[in-house]
C-alpha cells in the first residue's frame, strides 16, 4: 500500500493533452472491451488458447503512474475507462498484436480504501493478479497467501530524503541520524523496524507521524527528514512544491539493507497450479511489455496522465514527474535485469533474508507469518523467459 504517494496538496500543473485519448464510461467497461476485441485477429501469442481468463484483471497498489507503465503499455487505442471504478480495460496486446483475451487494470490506494492489494485479492475473486511487496506477502502468508511470479522492479524505489543544505555532509541514513535528524514515516512500516533493529535509526529519532504531504518538511525548513519514493519526490520537491523549490538528497531503503521486491506481480497461492498454463504464456508477455515500455514510454505515459485526470482522486501527477520517473528507474537500476540478462526474476537469498528479518517483527506485532515459511513459498521464477531483458 503506497500511501506515501498521497500528494493532493502539491502544486503541480497536470497536462491535459495526451497522445492517446481514452473513451470514458461509468459502467459496462468489460462489455465494451469485449466488443472492441470481437473483430481482432489473434497474433503470435494466444493467451486464450493458453487457458487465461477471458479478462486478465490486475490490481495495482496506487493511482496510475510510470512505475506501472508495463501494465498500461499492453493496451491499445481501443481501451475503455471506467472512471467511477478507477479501472481501464480493453484487448490485451503484446508487441502490437492481440493476444485473444482482454486486460483490466485497477487502481489501488484511494480507489480501494488504502487496503493492501493482498486483502483486495482475497475479497474479489475476479482479480487474477495483484501487486504485493515481499514483506506484505510474508506478513499475510497465514491467511492471504500470495506467490509472486514477476518482479517489474529490481529495486524498491522507497527512500529516506533530507535537505542537503541542512545536512551538507550526510550521504546515508546512518549519517543522517548521527547528525540528529528526526525521520518522519508512516507508522507501521516494517522497514523502519528493520532500520531501528539494525542500529541505523535510533528509536527516539523515528517519528511515525508522516501524513503524506510536504507541510512538515517545509515548515521545519528541512530539519526533519522523511520517507518518499526516489522515482518521484526528488523531482516534485524541487519543481512542484513552490514553498520548497530546491533539491533534496536521499538514500534508498534498499541500499540501507532492507531489500524487498516492491509491487511484485502475484497470484493467490491456491490458484498457482490452476493458472500455470496461463502464466507460462502470460509472464513473458509482462516481461516484453516492460521492455517495450522503456523503449518508448511516451504513449503509455500520455495514457497514464489521462487516467489520473479521469479518475480524479485528488492525487496530482504531472508530465514532469512521469518523465523523471522513467529516467530515474533506469539510472538507479530500479527497473533492470539485475545480475543476469533477463527481467523479472527473484533472488532466493534476498527473499529469505526478508523472511529472517521480518518474521520476528511481524510475530511481535501479532501477525506472525505462516509457520516454517521459506522463500520458495513467496515467489517462483518458473514462468520467466530468459531471453527477454532490458537493453
Each residue of 264-294: pLDDT tens digit? 999 999 999 999 999 999 999 999 999 999 9
How far apart (Å, rounded) are the C-alpha atoms in residues 347 and 376? 10
Both 280 and 358 in a single domain?
Answer: yes
* CA 186 to each of CA 120, 193, 340, 375: distance values in angstroms, whole numbers, following the listed order: 21, 12, 34, 27
Q: Is residue 123 part of a domain?
A: yes
- Give strand ranges (E) for the chain: 23-25, 55-59, 80-82, 87-94, 97-106, 129-132, 146-150, 158-162, 183-184, 206-207, 225-229, 249-252, 264-268
Among candidate residues 204, 231, 256, the one where a domain is terminated: 256
CATH number of the domain where residue 167 is located: 3.40.190.10
Percent of the chain with pLDDT over 70: 91
- For the ranges 17-21, 162-166, 240-244, 343-347, which has the lowest average pLDDT? 17-21
Both 148 and 288 in a single domain?
Answer: yes
How far apart (Å, rounded) are the C-alpha atoms in residues 239 and 57? 35
State whether residue 89 is helix, strand or coil: strand
Both 151 and 268 in a single domain?
Answer: yes
Both 342 and 281 in a single domain?
Answer: yes
Work out the pLDDT band at 39, boundaries 50, 70, 90: confident
* CA 107 to each of CA 8, 150, 241, 254: distance values in angstroms, whole numbers, following the listed order: 16, 19, 25, 25
pLDDT at 32: 61
Each residue of 187-228: pLDDT tens digit? 999 999 999 999 999 999 999 999 999 999 999 999 999 999
Both 116 and 48 in a single domain?
Answer: yes
Q: Is residue 384 part of a domain?
A: no
Both 151 and 283 in a single domain?
Answer: yes
Q: Count Cβ neighbours within 10 Å for each residue of 175-192 and write b for 16 or more, e otherwise.
A: ebbeeebbbbbbeebbbb
Both 151 and 215 in a single domain?
Answer: no
Each residue of 125-141: pLDDT tens digit? 999 999 999 999 999 99
For residue 183, pLDDT beyond 80: yes
Asked if 3 and 109 touch (Cβ cutoff 8 Å), the reply is: yes
Among candidate residues 227, 256, 285, the one where a domain is terminated: 256
Both 134 and 186 in a single domain?
Answer: no
Both 148 and 224 in a single domain?
Answer: no
For residue 22, pLDDT beyond 70: no
Domain membership of residue 307 as a residue range: 3-155+261-378
The number of folded domains in the chain is: 2
State whether residue 102 is helix, strand or coil: strand
Among candidate residues 236, 256, 276, the one where a domain is terminated: 256
**Confidence (pTM):** 0.92
Both 139 and 9 in a single domain?
Answer: yes
For residue 9, pLDDT beyond 60: no
Both 178 and 196 in a single domain?
Answer: yes
Both 337 and 251 in a single domain?
Answer: no
pLDDT at 12: 32
Q: Is residue 385 part of a domain?
A: no
Amino acid at each position: 500500500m503506497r500511501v506515501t504517494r498521497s500528494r493532493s496538496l502539491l502544486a503541480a500543473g497536470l497536462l491535459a493533452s495526451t497522445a492517446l485519448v481514452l473513451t470514458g464510461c461509468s459502467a459496462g467497461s468489460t462489455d465494451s472491451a469485449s466488443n472492441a476485441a470481437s473483430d481482432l485477429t489473434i497474433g503470435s501469442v494466444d493467451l486464450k488458447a493458453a487457458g487465461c481468463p477471458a479478462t486478465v484483471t490486475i490490481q495495482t497498489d496506487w493511482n496510475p503512474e510510470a512505475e506501472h507503465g508495463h501494465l498500461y503499455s499492453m493496451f491499445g487505442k481501443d481501451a475503455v475507462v471506467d472512471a467511477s471504478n478507477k479501472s481501464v480495460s480493453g484487448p490485451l496486446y503484446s508487441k502490437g498484436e492481440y493476444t485473444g483475451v482482454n486486460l483490466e487494470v485497477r487502481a489501488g490506494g484511494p480507489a480501494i480504501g488504502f487496503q493492501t492489494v493482498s486483502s483486495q485479492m482475497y475479497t474479489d475473486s475476479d482479480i487474477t493478479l495483484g501487486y504485493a511487496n515481499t514483506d506484505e506477502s510474508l506478513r499475510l502468508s497465514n491467511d492471504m497467501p500470495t506467490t509472486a511470479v514477476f518482479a517489474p522492479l529490481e529495486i524498491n524505489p522507497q527512500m529516506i530524503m533530507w535537505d542537503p543544505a541542512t545536512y551538507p555532509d550526510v550521504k546515508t541514513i546512518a549519517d543522517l541520524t548521527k547528525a540528529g535528524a528526526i525521520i518522519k514515516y508512516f507508522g507501521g512500516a516494517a522497514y523502519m523496524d528493520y532500520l531501528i533493529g539494525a542500529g541505523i535509526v535510533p528509536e527516539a529519532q523515528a517519528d511515525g507521524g508522516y501524513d503524506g504531504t510536504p507541510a512538515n518538511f517545509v515548515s521545519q525548513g528541512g530539519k526533519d527528514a522523511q520517507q518518499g519514493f526516489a522515482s518521484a519526490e526528488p523531482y516534485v520537491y524541487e519543481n512542484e512544491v513552490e514553498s520548497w523549490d530546491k533539491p533534496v538528497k536521499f538514500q534508498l531503503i534498499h541500499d540501507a539493507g532492507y531489500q524487498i521486491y516492491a509491487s511484485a506481480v502475484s497470484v493467490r497461492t491456491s490458484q498457482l497450479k490452476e493458472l500455470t498454463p496461463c502464466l507460462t504464456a502470460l509472464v513473458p508477455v509482462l516481461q516484453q511489455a516492460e521492455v517495450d515500455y522503456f523503449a518508448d514510454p511516451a504513449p503509455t505515459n500520455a495514457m497514464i496522465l489521462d487516467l489520473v485526470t479521469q479518475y480524479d482522486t485528488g492525487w496530482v501527477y504531472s508530465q514532469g514527474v512521469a518523465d523523471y520517473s522513467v529516467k530515474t528507474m533506469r539510472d538507479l537500476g530500479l527497473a533492470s535485469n539485475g545480475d543476469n540478462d533477463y527481467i523479472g526474476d527473484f533472488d532466493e537469498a534476498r527473499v529469505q533474508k526478508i523472511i529472517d528479518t521480518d518474521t520476528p517483527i511481524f510475530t511481535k506485532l501479532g501477525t506472525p507469518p505462516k509457520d516454517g515459511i521459506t522463500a520458495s513459498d513467496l515467489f517462483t521464477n518458473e514462468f520467466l523467459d530468459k531471453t527477454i531483458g532490458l537493453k
